[in-house]
Structure 1
Amino acid sequence: MKVWMYPLLIVIGAASYGILSTIIKLAITDGFTASEAVTSQYYTGFLLALLIYVIVHRGVPKFKGSFPVMMAGLFTAITGTVYGKSVEYMPASLAVVLLFQFTWIGMLYECVATRRLPKKSEVVSLLFLFGGTILAAGLIDADISGIPWQGWAWGIAAAFSFAAFVMANQKPVAGMSVVTRLLLMSFYASIVITFLQSPEIVWNGKLGEGLWWYGLILGVFGIVLPIFLFSVGVPKVGAGISSILSAVELPVAIMASMLLLGEHLTGLQFVGIFLVLFGMTLPAMLNRFAWKTKQRLRKDKS
């Protein structure tokens, strides 16, 4: 696989996360709770992962332990739980802004783990991302005084948890295929969700009332696609850059809420989305410029 494909996988995986808050809001509008929607997401995601495993490996899976995969599954479940809670207290666009703080938190995690300072390109990129976030979410002219503190707390908790998920995905497991990793991670996450959310949807008839449809969408875009793509891309790209590339989640979430929930998009929000996308691609552009400069200096010396 070409080098540029790995960052693209991260972008696609993060973009799939962007529609989750809107789908959960639609499920709530249809009479389901956020907890029921999140539970259907993880249960359906596990069943889809199991189906993929059986088709690819043509056998019964062995649920062996692996600490990085277990931790990734744990943080996946925690992120879904606390993110669903934040959506209950605030608009979808604001909830995703709080989740979006994982960009600098993920950079902080990697710097601590590798005992290094952030690169200049990373710092500049985060500044663009932060400024674009404020504009894209419409926070300048929005009245946020009525939002309870629980919403803010759940949203920030989701950011820390998602950054930990990206960090846990950074380390590949020797001898474990991506399909097996997807299955195990979704399995561990489903176990955690059983204790944190609403397992009663399996027997109370809610799935037959239409919840299965939301579970299918959430399972594909919230479990199967992102876990699979992150498992392939993050070990090659690194947690820090992966966090920056995952910034695409914000503009996707805002566009989804505009198209499906009828939320209005202002000119400032368009500018904010542009800044986010620019900040996301800035490290790659700066690294490319530095590489060309080195090549030119080598030619001049020769």
Structure 2
Amino acid sequence: MYLYPLLIVIAASSYGIVSTIIKLAMQSGFSVSQAVTSQFFFGFCIAICIFIFTNRTKLSFNGVKTLIFAGVFTGLTNIFYGLSLNYLPASLAVVLLFQFTWIGMLISCITKRKFPSRIELISLIILVAGTIPAAGLIHVDLSQLPFQGWLWGLAAALCYSLFLFVNGRATTNMNTSNRLVMVSFFALMMAVFFQSPEVIWNGTLFSEGLWIYGLALGLFGLIIPVYLFTIAVPKVGLSMSSILGATELPIAVMVSVILLNENITSLQMGGIVIIILGMSLPTILNRNMLSITKKSTTLGTK
């Protein structure tokens, strides 16, 4: 019962590390474009290795149209997120990406033509309430920040939501490692067309040390989230996946404290607790409702 929600949490937590790694790459003199290109290059290489060692069948192209969109949205999410980091503090960029929680739920409502449950709405309200203090944005003047940074951040949130939506659609006759290769390949193509593909052959990737950040970004920003989302989102559903994905923000804040030596206040800690509460609420309430239903059924049988 808890396996697939746990996989969503692990995938989102993995993605929460990305902003800090990109900031570390920028501190080492690399551009966001270079970091994102290295991410998709190494992500694709790792995906190929996983496919070779775990798959005994040929590469399948069934359902490739769906995977093209999954790869494109994965690529655009990271590209737009990186662009927002050029203009905004990491904390605000994460908050804007965090808007995928309500965008994902809205997409789910539109496609399914039904409103979210009361539990999901309450959980979403709690998540949004904890977002601002968790990111440390209270008493911060945001009026001087470039407008394009806000647009790139929200564009990343939209693409992330669309990636979850597309990834939740089952692709028949294609296992997870096969899908991972396809998604990572089309994500790499986005970097080749819109980022800095020259780092792959001009020596920047290996001789100047970009590979260290690219390997970490490929693992935490592509392989782990895509692999686990591919398995879990079809089982959990888009609305619940969006709620559980909220763990990304607390992880992003905590990792930035550890690796970037950023300070964390008691207000931020309170916001993180609120987010964890909002994220856990649907699972706790659904479990209690299931327990009550079982007891009622047992009593009725007796």
What pairs with 1:284-295 in structure 2 (closer than 5 Å)? 284-295=283-294
Query: What is the CA deviation profile of residues 91-122 of structure 1, one whole-angstrom value per residue up to 9, with x for unaligned ones?
Result: 11111110000001000001110000010000
Residues 16 and 225, structure 1, Cα contact 8 Å, conserved in 2: yes
In structure 2, C-alpha distance between the alignment counterparts of 1:211 and 1:63, rounded to whole Å: 32
**Which contiguous aligned blocks of 4+ residues in structure 1 show a shift greater than 4 angstroms?**
62-65
Measure how far apart 1:205 and its partner are.
Answer: 1.6
Residues 75 and 162, structure 1, Cα contact 8 Å, conserved in 2: yes
Residues 75 and 188, structure 2, Cα contact 8 Å, conserved in 1: yes
The one-letter code sitting in structure 2 at the alignment partner of 1:191 is: M
Distance 1:289 1:34, change over 3 A: same
In structure 2, C-alpha distance between the alignment counterparts of 1:26 and 1:299, rounded to whole Å: 57
Aligned to 2:31: 33
Aligned to 1:227: 226
- The one of 162, 167, 170 equivalent to 1:169 is 167
In structure 2, C-alpha distance between the alignment counterparts of 1:107 and 1:261, rounded to whole Å: 32
TM value normalised by structure 2: 0.96
Aligned to 1:10: 8
Q: Which moved more, 1:34-43 or 1:142-151?
A: 142-151
Aligned to 2:211: 212
Measure how far apart 1:63 and its partner are.
Answer: 5.4
Residues 60 and 178, structure 2, Cα contact 8 Å, conserved in 1: no
TM value normalised by structure 1: 0.96
Aligned to 1:105: 103
Residues 91 and 253, structure 2, Cα contact 8 Å, conserved in 1: yes
- The one of 127, 130, 142 equivalent to 1:129 is 127
Distance 1:13 1:243, change over 3 A: same
In structure 1, C-alpha distance between the alignment counterparts of 2:162 and 2:199, rounded to whole Å: 28
What pairs with 1:26-175 in structure 2 (closer than 5 Å)? 26-57=24-55, 61=59, 66-175=64-173
Query: What is the CA deviation profile of residues 39-63 of structure 1, one whole-angstrom value per residue up to 9, with x for unaligned ones?
Result: 1000110011011111122576455
Measure how far apart 1:285 and its partner are.
Answer: 1.0
Unpaired runs of at least 5, structure 2: none
Compute the RMSD of aligned alpha carbons: 1.3
Residues 99 and 156, structure 1, Cα contact 8 Å, conserved in 2: yes
The one-letter code sitting in structure 2 at the alignment partner of 1:280 is: M
Query: What is the CA deviation profile of residues 204-240 of structure 1, one whole-angstrom value per residue up to 9, with x for unaligned ones?
Result: 2211201011000000001111110000000111111
In structure 1, C-alpha distance between the alignment counterparts of 2:179 and 2:56, rounded to whole Å: 16
In structure 1, C-alpha distance between the alignment counterparts of 2:168 and 2:94, rounded to whole Å: 23
In structure 2, C-alpha distance between the alignment counterparts of 1:177 and 1:223, rounded to whole Å: 17
Matched, 1:249 2:248: yes
In structure 1, C-alpha distance between the alignment counterparts of 2:29 and 2:286, rounded to whole Å: 49
Query: What is the CA deviation profile of residues 33-89 of structure 1, one whole-angstrom value per residue up to 9, with x for unaligned ones?
Result: 000000100011001101111112257645566122111101000001000000111
Matched, 1:184 2:178: no
In structure 2, C-alpha distance between the alignment counterparts of 1:37 and 1:172, rounded to whole Å: 31
Identity of aligned residues (%): 50
Distance 1:60 1:198, change over 3 A: farther
Distance 1:10 1:138, change over 3 A: same
Residues 54 and 60, structure 1, Cα contact 8 Å, conserved in 2: no
In structure 1, C-alpha distance between the alignment counterparts of 2:209 and 2:170, rounded to whole Å: 37
In structure 2, C-alpha distance between the alignment counterparts of 1:27 and 1:240, rounded to whole Å: 33
The one-letter code sitting in structure 2 at the alignment partner of 1:36 is: Q
Q: Secondary structure at the match of 1:265?
A: coil
Aligned to 2:264: 265
In structure 2, C-alpha distance between the alignment counterparts of 1:117 and 1:220, rounded to whole Å: 36
Query: What is the CA deviation profile of residues 252-283 of structure 1, one whole-angstrom value per residue up to 9, with x for unaligned ones?
Result: 00011111111110111000000101100111
Residues 22 and 260, structure 1, Cα contact 8 Å, conserved in 2: yes
Aligned to 1:199: 197
Q: Which moved more, 1:140-149 or 1:28-37?
A: 140-149
In structure 2, C-alpha distance between the alignment counterparts of 1:275 and 1:65, rounded to whole Å: 40
Query: What is the CA deviation profile of residues 10-39 of structure 1, one whole-angstrom value per residue up to 9, with x for unaligned ones?
Result: 110110000100100110110000000001
Residues 130 and 274, structure 2, Cα contact 8 Å, conserved in 1: yes
Matched, 1:20 2:50: no
Unpaired runs of at least 5, structure 1: none
